[in-house]
Amino acid sequence: MSERQLGFSRRQVLAFGGAFGLLTAGGLASAAALAHRPAGTGALLRSAIALPPAFQVPLPRPQVLAPVSTAGGVDRYEITQREAVAEILPGVRTPVWTYGGSFPGPTIEARRGRPTVVTHRNELPVPTVVHLHGGRTPAESDGYPTDLVLPGSWTESGGHHHGGGMADPRAVQSRVVREYTFPNEQRATMLWYHDHRMDFTAPAIWRGLAGLHIIRDDREKELELPDGERELPLVITDRAFRADGSLDYPSLDPGLRDRPGVQEPYMAGVLGDVILVNGAPWPVHEVAAVRHRLRVLNASNARHYELEAVDQDGRALELVQIGADQGLLAAPVTHRRLPLAPAERYDLLVDFGTVPVGGTVRLRNRLGSGRTREVMAFRVVRAQREDTRVPSAPATDLPPWRREDAVRTREFAFRAGKMGEGHGWLIGGRPFDPAREDVSVRLGDVEVWRLIADVHHPVHLHLVGFRILSRGGRAPLPHDAGLKDTVSLRPGEAAEIITGFDGYRGRYLFHCHNAEHEDMGMMANLEVR
């Protein structure tokens, strides 16, 4: 799709305005702006409905999906994408877009090396495409944004190309059904699947199209980590609600058919004023006074968190990190505060045995204000004998890449800039175009990438995991440890990452995972040859 073929609908929506007050057009944030680095990038959308008190709704656990077949060494699943009505706020009906009727979608549990095949059926009113975030996936199942599954009744309207992706000659489209194959040939970790439709990913995720995909292996089992009830996936999102209970979102086209983009004040990102964990507002969960494994995902479009777990006396519990986006760490890292950018995951051990029975631990967001400072609460309700420990060396299989292994260093600037007649979010000065090749790498090559940001940009690479080599010219931060697939660039910051492009050849992507930035240009093609 060339810039011209995008038509003016996209350019029109990218009018530049107040949300970018920090920036000079096309340039980096000014030194003055950096001096008081903002805690986030985005604008708050306020709910028009009464919000429930915190810590009343029990924490839901996303249900684990049962395979329809396990024959032939493959686990097969079927998921129907459809509209449903969820009770997110107590007593309030909220229409959502779902994987299989629930928000978040069902969790897929996978074994390393045992393939998962998921047949997705699209009964939603718009095209969709599924991407397994963090998955080492063959390109044809990676959910390229124009590889759309069209609804049965879908017709192109108004001469726009966004729904059909007709201007991308390599797009592989289907009607209603598509089968995705995930080999799960990768380290044990918690991945997530979500919609990735060209220009409309942000509103589709906001409406509910996200779920977990957990890969397990023998190594992880040997560690005897807290499991069962003591292993808690926590999908953290923010949302806003209209007076009628529906989800609010500032789309220019509420039908998400033709005209992409959001209203101008929200172009830097949409922030909600309600914090949901596993689809419940500020939930509460009863725990025994023992170590728990918290598997945290920030599935918010644009909101950043800095998590802390504070007990009733105001003491911050240790958040013992044993894993990152792409699996277990070589050594645990203890945090009192943990930054969490969109799409990042952390594998944490938290010992509620340090809290007296009857005590409460609140998970808080230090970057929030007012009610968005709270995330959820744990009530410690009973004693229990501890039978787990913190592994001193969770993993021994981290890739050994060193800087001198890199055959090439590349540099990419992530910044606001001119896009058509308006402005958008650009990588290396250009907005996304599926028809253009941006980066071509050789299968097996190790490369160093230097990523530079104006405002916050959580940068994500498909196909690979990487290690963070440096941040702001210094050593990485404690939470940068391990194998990552998303690196959170802070305003004015440059970071270096190192990765080896193994796995599969084909067309992949890298992009900002602020979902609004992603939809408004900040994505690029990565061809593995």
Choose among Cu ion, ligand C2O, none what residue 94 binds, the Cβ cut-off being 5 to 8 Å by kind: none
Of residues 350-389, which lie at the interface with ligand C2O (CB under 6 A)? Answer: none
Give the one residue of 133, 178, 239, 479 binding ligand C2O; rule: CB under 6 A: 133
> Of 104-112, 295-303, 396-404, 505-513, which segment contacts ligand C2O by CB under 6 A?
505-513
Give the one residue of 460, 467, 479, 484 binding ligand C2O; rule: CB under 6 A: 460
> Of 3-11, 281-289, 447-455, 506-514, which segment contacts ligand C2O by CB under 6 A?
506-514
Shortest distance in whole angstroms from residue 302 CB to Cu ion: 8
Amino acid identity, position 110: A
Of residues 168-197, which lie at the interface with ligand C2O (CB under 6 A)? Answer: 194, 196
Residues 6+ apart with CB under 8 A from 221: none
Give the one residue of 59, 294, 512, 523 binding Cu ion; rule: CB under 5 A: 512
- How many residues touch Cu ion under the rule CB under 5 A: the total is 6
Shortest distance in whole angstroms from residue 289 CB to ligand C2O: 36
Tell me whether residue 320 or residue 416 sits nearer to Cu ion (CB atom).
Answer: 416
Of residues 193-222, which lie at the interface with ligand C2O (CB under 6 A)? Answer: 194, 196
The tokens 């007296």 sit on which residue? 356
How far are the Cα atoms of 26, 164, 177, 196 from residue 153, in angstroms, in the given order? 41, 13, 13, 20
Tell me whether residue 415 or residue 462 sits nearer to ligand C2O (CB atom).
Answer: 462
Question: Which long-range contacts does 20-25 make (Cβ < 8 Å, 24+ apart)?
Answer: 20/267, 20/268, 20/416, 20/423, 22/454, 22/455, 22/491, 23/415, 23/416, 23/454, 23/455, 25/416, 25/417, 25/418, 25/423
Rounded-to-5 percentages of helix, strand, coil across the chain: 10, 40, 50
Shortest distance in whole angstroms from residue 507 CB to ligand C2O: 12
Contact mark string toward ligand C2O, 86..125, x via CB under 6 A: ----------------------------------------
- Contact call for residues 186 and 136 (beta carbons, < 8 A): yes
Choose among ligand C2O, Cu ion, none what residue 343 binds, the Cβ cut-off being 5 to 8 Å by kind: ligand C2O
**DSSP 3-state of 120:** strand
Tell me whether residue 1 or residue 343 sits nearer to ligand C2O (CB atom).
Answer: 343
Beta bridge partners, 509, equal 525
Choose among Cu ion, ligand C2O, none what residue 194 binds, the Cβ cut-off being 5 to 8 Å by kind: ligand C2O
Q: What is the 3-state secondary structure (H, E, C) of 233-275?
A: EEEEEEEEECCCCCEECCECCCCCCCCCCECHHHCCCEEECEE
| Contact between 511 and ligand C2O per CB under 6 A | yes
Of residues 447-506, which lie at the interface with Cu ion (CB under 5 A)? Answer: 457, 462
Shortest distance in whole angstroms from residue 371 CB to ligand C2O: 27
Amino acid identity, position 416: A
Choose among Cu ion, ligand C2O, none what residue 509 binds, the Cβ cut-off being 5 to 8 Å by kind: ligand C2O
User: Considering only CA atoms, which of 209, 138, 167, 178 is closest in space to residue 508?
Assistant: 138
- Contact call for residues 428 and 468 (beta carbons, < 8 A): no
The tokens 């190309």 sit on which residue? 161
Shortest distance in whole angstroms from residue 130 CB to ligand C2O: 11
Tell me whether residue 262 or residue 524 sits nearer to ligand C2O (CB atom).
Answer: 524
Give the one residue of 11, 187, 490, 517 binding Cu ion; rule: CB under 5 A: 517
Choose among ligand C2O, Cu ion, none what residue 512 binds, the Cβ cut-off being 5 to 8 Å by kind: Cu ion
Shortest distance in whole angstroms from residue 499 CB to ligand C2O: 15
How far are the Cα atoms of 93, 239, 240, 518 from residue 99, in angstroms, in the given order? 18, 18, 20, 22
- Contact call for residues 142 and 194 (beta carbons, < 8 A): no
Q: Please give the Cα distance from 147 to 163 (Å, whole number).
A: 11
Tell me whether residue 145 or residue 151 sits nearer to ligand C2O (CB atom).
Answer: 145
Beta bridge partners, 159, equal none
| Edge-to-edge strand list for the sheet holding 439-441 | 439-441, 523-528, 506-512, 457-461, 486-489
Q: Following DSSP, what letter does each residue of 321-359 receive, concatenated?
A: EEEETTEEEEEEEEESSEEE-TT-EEEEEEEGGGS-TT-
The alpha-helical segments, DSSP class H, found in 18-121 are: 31-35
Tell me whether residue 311 or residue 325 sits nearer to ligand C2O (CB atom).
Answer: 325
Shortest distance in whole angstroms from residue 370 CB to ligand C2O: 29
Tokens of 393: 């060396």
**305-311 and 319-324: which strand pairing?**
unpaired
Which residue's CB atom is positioned nearest to ligand C2O? 133
Give the one residue of 6, 247, 333, 343 binding ligand C2O; rule: CB under 6 A: 343
Contact mark string toward Cu ion, 112..141, x via CB under 5 A: ---------------------x--------
Give the one residue of 11, 131, 345, 415 binding ligand C2O; rule: CB under 6 A: 131
Tell me whether residue 136 or residue 230 sits nearer to ligand C2O (CB atom).
Answer: 136
Dihedral over Cα of 96, 98, 100, 102: its sign: negative
Tokens of 82: 């459809």
Choose among Cu ion, ligand C2O, none what residue 517 binds, the Cβ cut-off being 5 to 8 Å by kind: Cu ion
Shortest distance in whole angstroms from residue 139 CB to Cu ion: 12
Q: Which residues bind Cu ion (CB under 5 A)?
A: 133, 457, 462, 512, 514, 517
* Binding-site ranges for ligand C2O (CB under 6 A): 131, 133, 194, 196, 343, 460, 462, 509, 511, 513
